Amino acid sequence: MIRNPIDVSSHVSPQLSALIESRVNDPDAEQAVTLSEVRAFLAGLLPGPFKAAESFHRFDIDTSILDELDALIEEYGGDRLAVDFVQTGASEPLSRVIEAVVNDENREYPPTLATVRDAMASGLLTRLVGEGVLDEDEDDTLQADIDALIGRFGADALAEGFLRYE
């Protein structure tokens, strides 16, 4: 299979990425997990009466995780390896925060994820909103985003490796 040079994980919501990652990391999986297998797992989670409508927890105004997964299958094929759709970088707003910390001329050492979290807690987000680097509504979810990265990769992971722009 030829690998696509485009980072397809940037087209996946964090919720779907987390679901896919849980399936990809399943120790009972005997072979590489595909998008179709993730869809079958997700459809199996739906209560009986809702399967016909395929209604699931809404994470966006009118798009469900199942709808998003169906769109990926339509675009990339059901046999595409699911691991390609797991996000390993920061969101674009969090990338702007990381970049601000990385570019801080007063910093002696490359910042870790813990350094970024500390800077956020010390007023960096408020400053970046004031400078127009972040929208007011973007700073609401960034704490959860940095905590999720720390949970997955550790507080000592170098922050610069997670920069991603969409």
Q: What confidence tier does 153 reach under pLDDT thresholds 50, 70, 90? A: confident
- Residue 27 has, within 13 A of its CA and on its CB side, a CA count of 0
pLDDT of residue 56: 43
Poorest-pLDDT segment among 10-14, 31-35, 70-74, 108-112? 10-14
Reported confidence tier of residue 116, pLDDT bands at 50, 70, 90: very high
Q: Is the pLDDT of residue 94 over 80?
A: yes
Instruction: State residue 61's pLDDT score.
Output: 27
114 with 155: CB under 8 angstroms?
A: yes
Q: Tokens 């797992």: give the residue.
A: 41
| CA dist., res. 135 & res. 129, Å (int) | 6
What's the pLDDT at 130?
A: 93
Residue 43 is predicted with a pLDDT of: 79
